[in-house]
Structure 1
């Protein structure tokens, strides 16, 4: 199973902190560094020093790393116009030498829109579907040809569909818990389907829906990667687990039930159970970005047992 590091910088992280974590991610042999796309902290955190922009962050990391994949879980569809997003992501992909992945979601956190003057439309899912069609359509248009789109929410005319990514195809991630529209959208546009913070049972059920949706449109279900995002809290002993849980304002018992928490052996076992239902990739939500020893422990005693 691939292990990827997933950060939530809106809770309080500077670019320098994210760079340190990304370099540790690379040095410790993890597959990728991903980040959320939010402008406002959640919960009791003060959010200092303030938000960092997801794609500006990834552009910087693209030049400071060499191996790891870079991406978002998930870029908010409400933040950027689709043509602009296609340009931004393609450029960062060029800057990275072809290591970028785009997770794209509808956007949901109304308060951050109010806080920074960003429109929060009532109809978001229809917009997301058009955004996916536009972004993938722009990237897929041959050089020298133009791209047009006439949708309900967006219209493009005579676009040169440039620049092109370094990769032949940037992987697109779609995720969520929706029972009908989300699986259909994933079947049509996604290279990877991700379900965040879900139990093994709920993950298996949702993966099944995506597989069925793929079959309905004549796509092989195994063409998609199936993955989970889960908060991680690993310790060499019970005291270390409790200390790390307390540092992120969580209860160790709750994290054991709803995330990846406990000893390395416990976490390896739980990841194995996710693998049994078809998950081949885990995004480890790391909430204490100053605890680099945590990453080292996961690398040496969890990841080493999964290869």
Structure 2
């Protein structure tokens, strides 16, 4: 199973903190360093919560790409409400070039209404409207990347119109379509439209913070959606994301949970938690469900020893 580190810098992280976490991720031997794309801290924090954030995902990933070699980088996930699809396609292609072909683009419809209000971004009247906007975003992003150099791309939709775009710049990577692409990650628990859209556009499908039943159900839905359009389901990577609290003993696990403001006595406080032996057993159980990749969400970015310890014990 491929193990990756996943961070939430909107909870409070300077670029220096994020860079140190990325370097720790590489030094520990993990394959990738991912960040969320949010504008507002979540939880019970008061005014000023999340300082000094937020940070712009593709600015920070571009800088990390230039400073931290070898590991892959990405968003889990970018909200389609935040950026015009043309600008998102450019930003992703630029970071992919800076990194030498190491970027992966996680993208979703957006769900956190409060951050949109806080920064004056249109959230959309309904989930259906946001999902329609996500669909157009994917059509435009992949259309721009697929357009041959020297050709042009046009799109007329409900939310966006492009006329005779040169479709530049291109990502450094070549995707499963044989055209320049960064791998696209989608996810969620929607029963119909989400699996269908993922089968059409995604290279990876992620179930965020899902239990065993949810993981199995959603994986089966995506497989059926792939088969419905004659796509080989084996070309889809399936992944899971869970918060990780790893410790040498129960006391250290509890301290790491408490450091994030959670109550270690609360059964819902931790996702993937325990000693190395206990966590390895949990990972093995997930692998049996057909999960290829696991995003280990680390919330306390000041605790770099946590990342190093996880690398030494789990990889």
TM-score (norm 2): 0.94
Question: Aligned equivalents of 1:302 and 1:253: distance in 2?
Answer: 25
2:248 aligned residue:
236
Note the residue ranges of structure 1 that are not aligned, 5 or more in a row: none
Secondary structure, aligned partner of 2:139: helix
Q: Within 5 Å, give how 1:24-39 maps onto structure 2.
A: 24-39=24-39
In the TM superposition, what is the alpha-carbon distance from 1:250 to its structure 2 partner? 2.2
RMSD of aligned Cα (Å): 1.2
| Local SS of the residue matching 1:6 | strand
Note the 1:99-178 alignment, pairs <5 A: 99-122=102-125, 123-168=129-174, 169-178=181-190
Return the alpha-carbon distance in structure 1 between the equivalents of residues 83 and 266 of structure 2.
Answer: 36
The match for 1:88 is 91
1:188 maps to which of 200, 204, 211:
200
Name the residue aligned to 1:64.
Answer: 67
Q: Equivalences for 1:263-282 in 2 at 5 Å?
A: 263-282=275-294
Displacement of 1:249 in angstroms is 2.0
- Give 1:259 shift: 1.2
**What stretches of structure 2 of length at least 5 have no aligned partner?**
175-180
Asked if residue 286 in structure 1 is aligned to residue 292 in structure 2, the reply is no
> Is 1:40–2:40 an aligned residue pair?
yes
Please point out which of 209, 214, 225 is paired with 1:213.
Answer: 225
How many angstroms does 1:25 deviate by?
0.6
- Find the aligned partners of 1:251 and 1:172 in 2 and give their Cα distance: 35
How many residues align? The count is 303
**Secondary structure of 2:117's aligned partner:** helix
* Displacement over 3 Å in runs of 4+: 251-258
Give the drift of 1:256: 7.6
Q: Is the 8 A contact 2:207 2:215 kept in 1?
A: yes
Greater mean deviation of Cα atoms: 114-123 or 179-188 = 114-123
The alpha-carbon deviation at position 255 of structure 1 amounts to: 5.8
8 Å contact kept, 2:27–2:308? no
